[in-house]
Chains A and B, each alone.
Chain A
């Protein structure tokens, strides 16, 4: 069983309220997603730490219920430069 894009977005925003979340259902099968998460709370964190925040928001579903989520994270200022 997969998760819907709305569920994923809700979970992420539950833990990172200011997050701007863009989710694409890559295969149209509700199982392979790509997500871009931009949040001020990512400022100063390494990529690994940013991703860990998102994984933590997904509360253990990553790698289980949610198999395939391509993830890109950034703080707003990183978006401008990169």
Chain B
């Protein structure tokens, strides 16, 4: 588990915007992950996705990492931002655009 934590830390540190999700950007495997991807695509910023279904250690580890029981999880500039509900709220209020450095449309 310590190994998973290090791996997660490395991913979060080396990617400005990273989404831990079920499935891939092209084929999300869950409605919440799909919604999260749609929001990020709308922002038109580059982002990395990590498919937790490919790695059970990451899948469990990421829940402990931010004390957050669900996936997807968004990290921006090394900070945990939230799950898809928070992403949607922040998108609607323009906070997410501000956070990733794009102007609200």
Contacts and interface: CB of A to CB of B under 8 A. Distances in A.
Contacts, number: 34
B80 interface: yes
Nearest to A55: B69
Residues of B in contact with A, size category: 10 to 19
A51 B31 contact: no
A48 B69 contact: no
A51 B83 contact: yes
Mostly helix, strand, loop or mixed at chain B's interface?
mixed
A43 interface: no
Given A63-B70, A68-B31, A68-B32, A48 B86 contact: yes
Interface residues of A, number: 13
B67 interface: yes
Interface of B: 31-32, 63, 66-71, 80-83, 85-86, 89-90, 93
Given A55-B68, A55-B69, A82-B93, 8 more contacts: A47-B89, A47-B90, A48-B68, A51-B85, A68-B32, A70-B85, A72-B85, A72-B89
Interface of A: 47-48, 51-52, 55, 60, 62-63, 68, 70-72, 82
